[in-house]
Amino acid sequence: MLFISMLLFSVTLLDILGDRKSGETVSRTLLLVDDEVDILEPMLILLEEDYTVLTARSGPEALEILEHASVDMIISDQRMPKMTGVELLTRVWERYPEIVRIILTGYTDTDAMIQAVNEGRVYRYIVKPWNLDDMQVVIKQGLEWNDLRQEKGQLNADLAQANKALAERTEQLERAQETIVQQEKLAAIGRFAAEMVHEMNNHLHIILGLNASLSLSMEEELPELKDLETQAKTLAEIARDIRDFAKGAVLPLAMTRADPLKTAKDVVRACKHHPAFRALDVQLITGPVSEWVMDARQIKHLLINLLKNAAKASDRNSTIEVYVATNDDALVFRITDHGVGIPDDLRERIWEPFFTTWDRQPGTGLGLSICRRSVEMHGGDIECHPTKGGGTTFIVRIPRATDEAKTG
C-alpha cells in the first residue's frame, strides 16, 4: 500500500512538473531611481543593451510607474528628496515583494543599509562609486536569486497539488480496499449462513409441526399458538433473507396491493412479545392510510429492523413512535425514538454493511444495510435525522408503483 502511494505521488508530481515550460528567454525589466540625471543616464546607457530599463527621478514617481508596469528589479539611490531609498524600497517590499530591491549608497550610510538588508527590505546595497562589472554581476545574481525563490514557491505549490492528488487517490484506494474486505466478509458469511439456515430450518419445521398438532386440540385455550406459528414462519423468512443477502442474491419483489396500516399493526403487536420491548411503550400513530402496492413481507422486516434499532437506543420506560400515512405520491413510515441518538460524523456510515455504533449490544451491522436495500428496491428512499430533544428518527418513503414490473 505504501509503495503504491509513493508511486502515485511520483507520477502525479512528474505530470505537474512536465506541464511547466522551460528554456524560454525572458526579457527582464529594471527600474532605476535617482534624482541626479548625471548618474541616471550613464546607468541607462550601460544597462539597456541587456535589459528593458525604466527610469524615475523620485520615490513617488517610481511608485507610480510600478502601478502600471511589471518590473523584475528596482535599483534606487539612497539620498533623494521627498523619500529616501530605504523608504522607497520598504514600500516596494510591502506592495510588491516579488521585485528584487537594490540600493546605491555612500560610505556614510552603511549602517542603515545593513539594517535594511537584515530586515529583508533590501536584497543588497552597492557602495558608490560603483563599478560597471560589479554592477552587472550583482544584477545577474539578484535576478537568478529571485528566479530560484519563485521556482521554490512554484515547486511548493506543485508539491501541495501533488499531495492533494495523492490524498484523493489514496482515499480511493482505501475505499476500494474496504469494499474488497466487505465482499470477503459477505462471502464468508454466505458460506456460514447457508449451513446455519439449513440447520435452523430443520428445527423450525419441527416447531411448526408441533405447533400444528397443538393447534388442533388447544387453539381455543392457547390463542397465542397462532402468533407462535406466525413468528416461526417469519423467522424462517428472515433466515433466508440473511442467507441471500450474504450471498449477494437479489430476489424479485412480491408486489401486491396491501394495507400498510395492517402491516404496521402486525409489527407493533409482534414487538410486544419481544424481550427488547418489554420496558418500552411502542405507539402507533396514523394519518390517512390507503392500500398500497408493495412487498408486504419486505416492509414488515424493514419496520422490525428499524424498531429493534430504536429499542437498542432507548432507555427503559421510554416511548417509540411508529407513524404511517399515505398521500398522492408516497407511503410514509416514520420511526422515532428518544434515546442516545447517532453522532453527526457517523450518520452517513450507518448504512455500510457490518458498521455498527453499538458497544453494549453488538450486532452484525447488517440491519440498516438490509433496510436501505429493501427501500431502494421499492424505488424509495430512507433518511436518518436527529430527533428534537434527543434520539433518532428514520423516515421511509415508498413511491406509488408504476406499471413496470418490480423485480429489484
Domain containing 56 — which CATH number? 3.40.50.2300
The reply to whether 269 and 213 lie within a common domain is no
Residues 276 and 385 in one domain: yes
Q: Are 292 and 392 in a shared domain?
A: yes
Average pLDDT over residues 232-238: 68
* Domain presence at residue 312: yes
Tell me what pLDDT residue 10 has: 47
Residue 151 lies in a domain: no
- Please give the grid coordinates belonging to residue 400: 406509488
The DSSP H or E segment spanning 3 is: helix 2-18
**Are 222 and 326 found together in one domain?**
no
376 and 339 within one domain: yes
Which of 193, 228, 246 terminates a domain? The answer is 246
The widest CA-to-CA distance across the chain, in whole angstroms, is: 127
Mean pLDDT on 154-169: 76
Percent of the chain at pLDDT above 90?
19
Q: Are residues 317 and 376 in the same domain?
A: yes
What pLDDT does 22 receive? 45
pLDDT for the residue numbered 199: 65
Q: How many domains does the chain have?
A: 3
* Comparison of pLDDT for 368 and 153, the residue scoring more: 368
129 vs 10 pLDDT, higher one: 129
The CATH number covering residue 301 comes to: 3.30.565.10
Identify the pLDDT of residue 403: 44
pLDDT(334) > 50: yes
Residues 260 and 386 in one domain: yes
Q: Are 378 and 330 in contact (CB under 8 A)?
A: no
| Rounded mean pLDDT, 184-211 | 66
Q: Please give the Cα distance from 141 to 329 (Å, whole number).
A: 75
Q: Are residues 302 and 225 in the same domain?
A: no
**102 and 79, same structural domain?**
yes
Domain that holds residue 125: 2-16+26-130
In a domain, 273, yes or no: yes
> What is d(CA 403, CA 303) in angstroms, rounded to the nearest whole number?
26
Q: Is 60 exceeded by the pLDDT of residue 228? A: yes
Is pLDDT larger for residue 40 or for residue 361? 40
Backbone angles phi, psi at 106, to 5 degrees: -90, 170
* Final residue in a domain of this structure, among 107, 130, 153: 130
Whether 192 maps to a domain, the answer reads yes
DSSP string covering 79-118, please?
A: --SSS-HHHHHHHHHHH-TTSEEEEEE-GGGHHHHHHHHH
The verdict on residue 175 lying in a domain is: no
Tell whether omega for the bond before 129 is within 30 degrees of 0, i.e. cis.
Answer: yes
Asked if residue 56 is part of any domain, the answer here is yes
Residue type, 169: R
Indicate whether 213 and 306 sit together in one domain: no
> What pLDDT does residue 257 have?
93
- Given 203, 222, 246, the domain boundary residue is 246
CA distance 161 to 154: 10
pLDDT digits (tens, 9 = 90+) for 180-197: 776 676 666 666 666 666
Residue with the bigger pLDDT between 386 and 117: it is 386
The mean pLDDT value of the chain amounts to 77
- Residue of 35, 38, 41, 39 lying closest to 53 (CA atoms): 41
Contacts from 226-234 at CB under 8 Å and sequence distance 24+?
227/269, 227/270, 227/273, 230/270, 231/270, 231/273, 232/204, 232/207, 232/208, 233/208, 234/270, 234/300
Domain annotation covers residue 406:
no
Residues 285 and 351 in one domain: yes
- At residue 246, the pLDDT reads 54
Q: Is 146 domain-assigned?
A: no
**Could you tell me if 271 and 238 lie in one domain?**
no
Q: Give the pLDDT confidence of 252-262 residue by residue, as tens digits.
A: 788 999 999 99
Chain-centre distance of CA 55, in angstroms? 54
CB–CB of 42/83 below 8 Å? no
